[in-house]
């Protein structure tokens, strides 16, 4: 029994799902472990949505893997406008069944089971391989106590993410101050955690970087990874941060 479990774990960890971010796969032994759950954590405006969108777009265009963006925060129209500005032409992919934007209404704890069913139905209908959920924070806010959030998180991960087998990016907004005690637990459960930062350097300049603080079964880059957001979205810069020595 134990041997079987081990074999499965090893087999699953063999395959990698490309991040779709130029320069990043090489720092992760080729990408995210297939079927893993990755938390993208950061403050507003740090690049989480763009990262998730590039992840899905790359999979759909380069690998013909259907992807779905589940959004509790933003409507489809605004999403398509913003992604089009970054050169991500999503409508043709929607037509080909390679991309779905699932807009989820404001959440209450009572309404969540219906939303799960809807997410799972869409995953099965389209054979979704890559999933982005934006955001864990929005969902967790439907609950009042850390205990409820814990129960919900286990249900979410077990039933939805676990059984579907998609490689899933779960976006989490970092609070301005360390806030809700229950909100950090997704980091323990996730297979990988990427933190997004936007920090002031000399003068008025700001510098963006990401940091991989956890990636199960992977020898990954340690320390800050400088990134840039430009007309073509996120790219990894050479590992030197201006203004720092």
- Residue 240 engages ligand ATP in binding (rule: CB under 6 A): no
Q: Which of 17, 18, 36, 46 binds ligand ATP (CB under 6 A)?
A: 46
Cβ distance to Mg ion smaller for residue 79 or 152: 79
- Piece of the chain touching Mg ion by CB under 5 A; list 45-53, 179-187, 189-197, 234-242: 45-53
Rule CB under 5 A: say whether 49 interacts with Mg ion.
yes
**Contact flag: residue 83 with ligand ATP (CB under 6 A):** no
Q: How far apart are the C-alpha atoms of 171 and 43, rounded to whole Å?
A: 10
50 belongs to the binding site for ligand ATP (CB under 6 A): yes
Reduced 3-state DSSP string for the chain: CHHHHHHHHHHHHHCEECCCCCCCHHHCCCCEECCCEEEEEECCCCCHHHHHHHHHHHHHHHHCCCEEEEECCCCHHHHHHHHHHCCCCCHHHHHCCCEEEEECCCCCCCCHHHHHHHHHHHHHHHCCCEEEEECHHHHHCCCCCHHHHHHHHHHHHHHHHHHHCCEEEEEEECCCCCCCHHHHHHHHHCCEEEEEEEEECCCCCEEEEEEEEEECCCCCCCCCEEEEEECCEEEECCCCCCCCC
If binding is defined by CB under 6 A, does position 195 make contact with ligand ATP? no
Cα–Cα dist 180/165, whole Å: 29
Is position 71 an interface residue for ligand ATP (rule: CB under 6 A)?
no
Tell the smallest beta-carbon distance from residue 208 to ligand ATP (Å).
8
Say which entry of Mg ion, ligand ATP, none residue 71 contacts (CB below 5 to 8 A, set by partner kind).
none
Scanning 13-21, 49-57, 92-100, 191-199 for contacts with Mg ion by CB under 5 A, the matching segment is 49-57
Of residues 4, 95, 231, 240, which one binds ligand ATP by CB under 6 A? 231
Q: Is 199 in the site for ligand ATP (CB under 6 A)?
A: no
Q: How far is the CB of 222 from Mg ion (least distance, A)?
A: 26
Beta strands 225-230 and 130-134 are unpaired
Nearest approach in angstroms of CB 45 to Mg ion is 8
Structure token digits, residue 42: 């950061």
CB of 49 to Mg ion, least distance (A): 3
Binding positions for ligand ATP, 4-43, rule CB under 6 A: 42
| 244 scored as a contact of ligand ATP (CB under 6 A) | no
Rounded CA-CA distance 105/181 in Å is 25
Return residues touching Mg ion (CB under 5 A): 49
Return residues touching ligand ATP (CB under 6 A): 42, 44-50, 85-86, 173, 229-231
């Amino acid at each position: 029994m134990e041997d079987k479990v081990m074999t499965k774990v090893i087999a699953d960890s063999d395959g990698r799902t490309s991040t779709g971010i130029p320069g990043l796969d090489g720092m992760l032994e080729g990408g995210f472990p297939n079927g893993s759950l990755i938390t993208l954590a950061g403050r507003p405006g740090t690049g989480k949505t763009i990262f998730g969108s590039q992840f899905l777009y790359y999979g759909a265009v380069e690998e013909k893997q259907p992807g779905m963006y589940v959004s509790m925060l933003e409507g489809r129209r605004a999403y398509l406008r913003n992604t089009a500005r970054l050169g991500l032409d999503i409508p043709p992919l929607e037509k080909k069944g390679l991309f779905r934007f699932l807009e989820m209404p404001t959440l209450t704890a009572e309404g969540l089971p219906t939303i799960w069913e809807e997410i799972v139905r869409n995953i099965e209908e389209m054979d979704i391989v890559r999933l982005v959920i934006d955001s864990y924070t929005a969902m967790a806010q439907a609950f009042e106590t850390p205990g409820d959030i814990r129960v919900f998180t286990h249900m979410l991960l077990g039933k939805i993410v676990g059984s579907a087998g998609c490689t899933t990016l779960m976006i989490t907004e970092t609070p301005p101050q360390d806030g809700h005690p229950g909100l950090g637990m997704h980091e323990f459960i996730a297979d990988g955690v990427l933190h997004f930062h936007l920090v002031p350097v000399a003068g008025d300049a700001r510098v963006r970087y990401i940091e991989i603080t956890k990636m199960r079964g992977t020898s990954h880059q340690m320390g800050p990874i400088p990134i840039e957001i430009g007309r073509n979205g996120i790219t990894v810069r050479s590992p030197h941060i201006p203004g720092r020595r």
